[in-house]
Protein backbone atom coordinates (compact mmCIF):
# COMPACT_ATOMS: atom_id res chain seq x y z
CA UNK A 1 0.00 0.00 0.00
CA UNK A 2 1.27 3.46 -0.89
CA UNK A 3 1.64 5.97 1.97
CA UNK A 4 2.13 9.73 1.79
CA UNK A 5 4.05 11.62 4.46
CA UNK A 6 6.17 14.70 5.00
CA UNK A 7 9.78 14.07 3.90
CA UNK A 8 12.55 13.67 6.50
CA UNK A 9 16.19 14.66 5.98
CA UNK A 10 17.07 10.94 5.71
CA UNK A 11 14.89 10.71 2.57
CA UNK A 12 17.10 13.09 0.57
CA UNK A 13 19.16 10.40 -1.21
CA UNK A 14 16.06 8.39 -2.15
CA UNK A 15 14.31 11.53 -3.42
CA UNK A 16 17.37 12.35 -5.54
CA UNK A 17 17.27 8.84 -7.04
CA UNK A 18 13.58 9.31 -7.97
CA UNK A 19 14.39 12.75 -9.43
CA UNK A 20 17.13 11.34 -11.68
CA UNK A 21 15.07 8.33 -12.82
CA UNK A 22 11.95 10.44 -13.46
CA UNK A 23 13.85 13.18 -15.34
CA UNK A 24 15.61 10.64 -17.58
CA UNK A 25 12.29 9.05 -18.38
CA UNK A 26 10.04 12.15 -18.63
CA UNK A 27 12.46 14.50 -20.41
CA UNK A 28 14.06 12.10 -22.93
CA UNK A 29 13.63 13.81 -26.30
CA UNK A 30 12.79 17.14 -24.61
CA UNK A 31 16.11 17.92 -22.84
CA UNK A 32 19.58 17.00 -24.10
CA UNK A 33 20.78 13.40 -23.67
CA UNK A 34 24.09 14.47 -22.22
CA UNK A 35 22.51 16.75 -19.63
CA UNK A 36 20.21 13.91 -18.51
CA UNK A 37 23.07 11.41 -18.40
CA UNK A 38 25.13 13.74 -16.25
CA UNK A 39 22.46 14.38 -13.58
CA UNK A 40 24.18 13.74 -10.27
CA UNK A 41 22.37 11.93 -7.46
CA UNK A 42 24.81 13.09 -4.74
CA UNK A 43 24.45 16.73 -5.82
CA UNK A 44 20.65 16.44 -5.92
CA UNK A 45 20.63 14.66 -2.54
CA UNK A 46 22.45 17.66 -1.08
CA UNK A 47 19.91 19.99 -2.72
CA UNK A 48 16.90 18.03 -1.37
CA UNK A 49 18.45 17.67 2.09
CA UNK A 50 18.52 21.45 2.30
CA UNK A 51 15.06 21.76 0.75
CA UNK A 52 13.56 19.42 3.37
CA UNK A 53 15.06 21.43 6.23
CA UNK A 54 14.31 24.86 4.74
CA UNK A 55 10.73 25.72 5.63
CA UNK A 56 10.89 29.36 4.58
CA UNK A 57 7.93 30.59 2.48
CA UNK A 58 5.95 27.60 3.69
CA UNK A 59 8.16 25.24 1.70
CA UNK A 60 7.38 21.54 2.17
CA UNK A 61 8.41 18.22 0.64
CA UNK A 62 6.14 15.15 0.68
CA UNK A 63 7.06 11.59 -0.27
CA UNK A 64 5.05 8.60 -1.47
CA UNK A 65 6.43 5.34 -0.09
CA UNK A 66 5.76 1.71 -0.95
CA UNK A 67 6.55 -1.31 1.25
CA UNK A 68 9.80 -3.05 0.30
CA UNK A 69 10.73 -6.63 1.16
CA UNK A 70 12.85 -6.86 4.33
CA UNK A 71 13.77 -3.18 4.03
CA UNK A 72 12.35 0.18 5.03
CA UNK A 73 9.55 1.48 2.80
CA UNK A 74 10.91 2.72 -0.54
CA UNK A 75 10.39 6.31 -1.73
CA UNK A 76 8.59 5.99 -5.08
CA UNK A 77 7.53 9.60 -5.64
CA UNK A 78 7.71 13.07 -4.18
CA UNK A 79 6.30 16.58 -4.47
CA UNK A 80 7.45 19.92 -3.15
CA UNK A 81 6.29 23.51 -3.08
CA UNK A 82 5.33 26.49 -0.99
CA UNK A 83 4.31 30.11 -1.52
CA UNK A 84 4.63 30.91 -5.24
CA UNK A 85 8.15 31.92 -6.26
CA UNK A 86 6.69 34.43 -8.70
CA UNK A 87 3.99 36.84 -7.56
CA UNK A 88 0.87 37.45 -9.63
CA UNK A 89 -0.21 34.07 -10.99
CA UNK A 90 -1.22 32.26 -7.80
CA UNK A 91 -0.46 32.35 -4.08
CA UNK A 92 0.89 28.80 -3.79
CA UNK A 93 3.03 26.69 -6.10
CA UNK A 94 3.66 22.99 -6.61
CA UNK A 95 7.31 23.15 -7.66
CA UNK A 96 8.06 19.47 -8.26
CA UNK A 97 6.07 16.27 -8.70
CA UNK A 98 7.70 13.01 -9.76
CA UNK A 99 6.64 9.37 -9.54
CA UNK A 100 8.79 6.38 -10.60
CA UNK A 101 7.61 4.79 -13.87
CA UNK A 102 6.77 1.48 -12.16
CA UNK A 103 4.48 3.20 -9.67
CA UNK A 104 2.50 5.42 -12.02
CA UNK A 105 -1.25 5.14 -12.55
CA UNK A 106 -1.75 3.93 -8.97
CA UNK A 107 -2.90 7.20 -7.47
CA UNK A 108 0.50 8.43 -6.15
CA UNK A 109 0.45 11.64 -8.21
CA UNK A 110 -3.07 12.54 -7.19
CA UNK A 111 -2.35 11.86 -3.49
CA UNK A 112 0.86 13.88 -3.58
CA UNK A 113 -1.05 16.75 -5.24
CA UNK A 114 -3.68 16.50 -2.50
CA UNK A 115 -1.00 16.65 0.22
CA UNK A 116 0.46 19.74 -1.47
CA UNK A 117 -2.96 21.39 -1.89
CA UNK A 118 -3.91 20.77 1.75
CA UNK A 119 -0.54 22.09 2.87
CA UNK A 120 -0.76 25.20 0.68
CA UNK A 121 -4.24 25.96 1.93
CA UNK A 122 -3.11 25.44 5.54
CA UNK A 123 -0.42 28.10 5.08
CA UNK A 124 -3.03 30.50 3.73
CA UNK A 125 -2.80 30.11 -0.05
CA UNK A 126 -6.16 30.59 -1.77
CA UNK A 127 -4.91 29.56 -5.21
CA UNK A 128 -2.20 27.27 -6.57
CA UNK A 129 -0.19 26.79 -9.75
CA UNK A 130 2.39 24.47 -11.27
CA UNK A 131 4.83 24.97 -14.14
CA UNK A 132 5.20 22.13 -16.61
CA UNK A 133 7.29 21.93 -19.78
CA UNK A 134 4.85 22.55 -22.62
CA UNK A 135 5.95 19.33 -24.41
CA UNK A 136 5.66 17.19 -21.29
CA UNK A 137 2.72 14.75 -21.53
CA UNK A 138 2.27 15.24 -17.77
CA UNK A 139 0.50 18.50 -18.62
CA UNK A 140 -2.54 16.32 -19.33
CA UNK A 141 -2.33 14.97 -15.77
CA UNK A 142 -2.59 18.52 -14.40
CA UNK A 143 -5.41 19.29 -16.86
CA UNK A 144 -7.14 16.08 -15.70
CA UNK A 145 -7.00 17.45 -12.13
CA UNK A 146 -8.66 20.67 -13.27
CA UNK A 147 -5.55 22.83 -13.82
CA UNK A 148 -6.36 25.70 -16.17
CA UNK A 149 -3.64 26.86 -18.60
CA UNK A 150 -2.83 30.41 -17.47
CA UNK A 151 0.37 31.39 -19.23
CA UNK A 152 3.07 30.06 -21.56
CA UNK A 153 6.60 31.39 -21.86
CA UNK A 154 10.02 30.45 -23.18
CA UNK A 155 12.80 29.59 -20.72
CA UNK A 156 16.26 28.06 -20.89
CA UNK A 157 16.88 24.68 -19.28
CA UNK A 158 20.28 23.05 -19.56
CA UNK A 159 21.29 25.54 -22.24
CA UNK A 160 18.22 24.76 -24.34
CA UNK A 161 15.20 26.92 -25.18
CA UNK A 162 11.96 25.27 -24.13
CA UNK A 163 8.43 26.47 -23.44
CA UNK A 164 6.84 26.13 -20.04
CA UNK A 165 3.15 26.29 -19.26
CA UNK A 166 1.53 27.48 -16.02
CA UNK A 167 -1.50 25.53 -14.81
CA UNK A 168 -3.74 27.29 -12.33
CA UNK A 169 -6.22 26.22 -9.65
CA UNK A 170 -8.14 29.27 -8.47
CA UNK A 171 -9.64 28.83 -5.96
CA UNK A 172 -7.39 26.12 -4.48
CA UNK A 173 -10.54 24.23 -3.45
CA UNK A 174 -10.86 23.10 -7.09
CA UNK A 175 -7.61 21.14 -6.62
CA UNK A 176 -8.74 19.75 -3.27
CA UNK A 177 -12.01 18.62 -4.87
CA UNK A 178 -10.19 17.02 -7.85
CA UNK A 179 -7.88 15.10 -5.51
CA UNK A 180 -10.49 14.05 -2.94
CA UNK A 181 -10.00 10.45 -1.78
CA UNK A 182 -11.89 7.96 -3.93
CA UNK A 183 -14.70 6.15 -2.03
CA UNK A 184 -13.46 2.67 -1.05
CA UNK A 185 -15.77 0.78 -3.45
CA UNK A 186 -14.13 2.62 -6.38
CA UNK A 187 -10.51 1.88 -5.39
CA UNK A 188 -8.59 0.29 -8.24
CA UNK A 189 -6.72 -2.96 -7.62
CA UNK A 190 -3.17 -2.33 -6.44
CA UNK A 191 -4.05 1.31 -5.68
C1 LIG B 1 2.53 13.20 -13.78
C2 LIG B 1 2.72 12.10 -12.75
C3 LIG B 1 3.24 12.69 -11.46
C4 LIG B 1 1.36 11.40 -12.50
O5 LIG B 1 1.52 10.49 -11.45
P6 LIG B 1 0.65 9.16 -11.32
O7 LIG B 1 0.95 8.57 -9.98
O8 LIG B 1 0.83 8.29 -12.50
O9 LIG B 1 -0.84 9.75 -11.36
P10 LIG B 1 -2.16 9.10 -10.71
O11 LIG B 1 -2.10 7.61 -10.79
O12 LIG B 1 -2.39 9.69 -9.37
O13 LIG B 1 -3.27 9.64 -11.72
C14 LIG B 1 -4.41 10.37 -11.32
C15 LIG B 1 -5.31 10.49 -12.53
O16 LIG B 1 -4.61 11.18 -13.57
C17 LIG B 1 -4.55 10.38 -14.75
N18 LIG B 1 -3.22 10.60 -15.36
C19 LIG B 1 -2.02 10.23 -14.91
N20 LIG B 1 -1.03 10.64 -15.76
C21 LIG B 1 -1.68 11.23 -16.79
C22 LIG B 1 -1.23 11.85 -17.98
N23 LIG B 1 0.08 11.93 -18.29
N24 LIG B 1 -2.16 12.38 -18.81
C25 LIG B 1 -3.49 12.34 -18.51
N26 LIG B 1 -3.97 11.75 -17.37
C27 LIG B 1 -3.07 11.23 -16.53
C28 LIG B 1 -4.71 8.96 -14.26
O29 LIG B 1 -5.20 8.12 -15.28
C30 LIG B 1 -5.69 9.13 -13.12
O31 LIG B 1 -6.99 9.22 -13.68
P32 LIG B 1 -8.36 8.82 -12.89
O33 LIG B 1 -8.96 10.12 -12.49
O34 LIG B 1 -9.16 8.12 -13.91
O35 LIG B 1 -8.00 7.98 -11.71
C36 LIG B 1 3.70 11.02 -13.27
O37 LIG B 1 3.25 10.54 -14.52
C38 LIG B 1 5.12 11.49 -13.42
O39 LIG B 1 5.90 11.44 -12.47
N40 LIG B 1 5.49 11.94 -14.63
C41 LIG B 1 6.85 12.29 -14.96
C42 LIG B 1 7.36 13.44 -14.20
C43 LIG B 1 6.73 14.72 -14.58
O44 LIG B 1 6.66 15.05 -15.74
N45 LIG B 1 6.27 15.45 -13.57
C46 LIG B 1 5.69 16.74 -13.74
C47 LIG B 1 6.79 17.73 -13.74
S48 LIG B 1 6.17 19.33 -13.57
CATH of the domain at 117: 3.40.630.30
Do 150 and 174 touch, CB atoms closer than 8 A?
no
| Pocket residues: Cβ below 6 A from ligand 1 | 22, 26, 97-99, 104-110, 132, 136-138, 140-141, 144
Q: Stretch 68-84: mean pLDDT, rounded?
A: 94
Residue nearest to ligand 1 atom 30, measured at CA: 105
3-state secondary structure of 173: helix
Within 8 A by CB and 6+ apart from 138, the residues are 26, 97, 132
Query: How many residues can be counted in the chain?
Result: 191
How large is the average pLDDT for residues 86-104?
97
pLDDT for residue 185: 60
Whole-angstrom Cα distance, residue 53 to residue 32? Answer: 31
186 pLDDT above the threshold of 90: no
175 within a domain of the structure (yes/no):
yes
Average confidence (pLDDT) over 50-55: 96
Pocket test for ligand 1, best of 138, 139, 163 (most atoms within 8 A of CB): 138
First to last CA, the chain: 7
Whether 187 is in a domain gets the answer no
Total domains present in the chain = 1
Domain, as residue range, for 111: 3-182
The closest-lying atom of ligand 1 relative to the alpha carbon of residue 131 is 48
Specify if 191 maps to a domain.
no
Amino acid sequence: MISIRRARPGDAAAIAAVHVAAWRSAYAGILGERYLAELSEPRLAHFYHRAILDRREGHAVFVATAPAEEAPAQVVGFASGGRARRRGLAEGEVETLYVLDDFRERGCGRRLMRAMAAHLRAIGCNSAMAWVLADNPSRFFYRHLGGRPAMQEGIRVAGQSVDQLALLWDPIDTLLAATAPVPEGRLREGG
